[in-house]
Amino acid sequence: MNTADLGLPVDVPSTALFTDQYELTMLQAALKSGTAGRRSVFEAFTRRLPEGRRYGVVAGTGRVLDAVENFRFDEGVLSFLREQGVVDGPTLEWLADYRFTGDIWGYPEGEVYFPGSPVLRVEGSFAECVLLETVILSILNHDSAIAAAASRMSAAAGSRGLIEMGARRTHELAAVAASRAAYVGGFNSTSDLAAGFRYGIPTVGTSAHAFTLLHDNERDAFTAQVDSLGRGTTLLVDTYDVTEAVRLAVEVAGPELGAVRIDSGDLLLVAHRVRQQLDELGATRTKIVVTSDLDEYAIASLAAAPVDAYGVGTQLVTGSGHPTCSMVYKLVARAESGDADAPLVPVAKKSLGAKSSIGGRKWAARRPDKDGVAEAEVIGTGPVPEELADRQLQVQLVKGGQVVGRESLDTVRDRHAAARASLPLSATQLSRGEAVIPTEYV
């Protein structure tokens, strides 16, 4: 089913204007100078991880592939560019026929990455590749930041469930992407129905404090919810007095009550008291869900609490303090001329400070130690060492303009769990530190 057919704001017909104007003005100048057709290689990478993070998480690749397929300059878009005088007539004519016909390689979605990792490599003419810069970075920077936060929270939660509940804390379309990225990072479900509709992520939700306040008393509210949703529902027990609410909840629903949710107070203390009370009332199988501005540190602090699931909103959809990964998209090689067989030459920015880059089309591999645990991210531009040949990380995602690397979200989610498990144990420590393995250039 095409979600756009239903009029839901979860798909965009064209991604062509999700770009910065200078991509188009560069295109115009390159077309005029005759360099637009030069074969080029661009790479997306980050120079450093956000402060305190031990690894990054590749997320948004599937959305990048959708964006590349939908990068089309239809008549409405061309009219806007024409009316605003963004580019000249010959450039508009070129854009009208735009289709990406090159190749894209990258780390498979869900994989981890480190400083310098060539997360995505885009190859084709300069003209067709440069136009994709902004939308690619927009997606990768947002989704990878959310997935990294989700991964840290997932590691802290262990086997306990995680519910993404951040839709009300971010832009309505960003919320859908955030739900997807959170699922990649290890979350189990979302409260956002648009994310469930668009990506098949399991959705959950029962009631808020408003539902309790609507009724004359808490008993009436609980009775109405149980009568409608069944005894397996989750009742919110901290609107008034938690102890009295738990007593009423079990009285109304019986020991078959599915769960209670706690949204305020000293969660560690309250969870212990609620668990004891539930057990004394015979509701030994009733679960406890906690919410209330949680992040990975709060989740870790509740490890000893009798909690079954966490609901996370604000801190998740804002990357838990790091809303971007600072990925960049740089030209690393281009042909000597416009001839189809012209050799590629490495190019790189050589400015002062921390913004220089390394030229050349790169491969990447992760070297394990004798126990199979990752010990280094190895990146090179020449031949791949024989011992790393079967450890290469990049896979082909687009070939000749056709997507060949689309995967299910569950496959991506499983890959991330495996990739994180292959790292040294210190990767999941929440204390501040450097990347858990070094990046080596050969």
Residues 6+ apart with CB under 8 A from 185: 57, 59, 146, 147, 148, 149, 150, 151, 153, 154, 416
Q: Which of 52, 151, 63, 79 is nearest to 111 (CA)?
A: 151
Q: Please report where in the chains the tokens 């919810």 appear, as a residue.
A: 225
pLDDT, tens digit (0-9, with 9 covering 90-100), for 106-119: 999 999 999 999 99
The predicted pLDDT at position 1 comes to 45
Residue 82 structure tokens = 């024409």
Q: How confident is the model over 72-93, as a mean pLDDT?
A: 96
φ/ψ of 241, rounded to 5, equals -110, 120
- CB neighbours (10 Å) of residue 158? 9
pLDDT at 305: 97
Give pLDDT, residue 167. 97
pLDDT at 106: 98
pLDDT at 422 over 50: yes
Give per-residue pLDDT as tens, 319-343: 999 999 999 999 999 999 989 889 9
Q: Give the pairing type, strands 309-312 and 287-290.
A: parallel
Span 87-95, mean pLDDT?
98
Q: What is the pLDDT of residues 370-399, one digit of tens each?
A: 999 999 999 999 999 999 999 999 999 999
pLDDT, mean of residues 416-430: 96
State the pLDDT at residue 432.
Answer: 83
User: Average pLDDT of 244-262?
Assistant: 98
Mean pLDDT to the nearest integer, 274-299: 97
Annotate 65-88 with b (16+ C-beta within 10 A) or e (fewer). bbbbbebbbeeebbeebeeeeebe
pLDDT of residue 14: 86
DSSP class per residue in 319-382: TTT-----EEEEEEEEESSSSTTPPEEE-----STT-----S--EEEEEE-TTS-EEEEEEESS
DSSP state of 39: E
pLDDT tens-place string over residues 200-231: 999 999 999 999 999 999 999 999 999 999 99
Cα 177 from Cα 170, distance rounded (Å): 11
What average pLDDT does this structure show over 234-250?
Answer: 98
Query: Over the Cα atoms of the chain, what is R_g?
Result: 25
Tell me, what's the pLDDT at 356? 72
CA distance 427 to 421: 9
CA angle 169, 174, 180 (to 5 degrees): 105
Residue 383 DSSP class:
P
- Is 433's pLDDT higher than 70? yes
Mean pLDDT of the chain: 95
Return the pLDDT at 214. 98
Q: What is the predicted pLDDT for the residue at 4?
A: 42
Asked whether the predicted pLDDT for residue 354 surpasses 70, the reply is no
Q: With b meaning 16 or more CB within 10 Å and e meaning fewer, what string describes 363-394?
A: bbbbeeeeeeebbebbbbeeebeeebeeeebb
Whose structure tokens read 């095409």?
Answer: 2
Q: Residue 353: what pLDDT?
A: 64
The model's pTM is 0.94
Beta bridge partners of 29: none
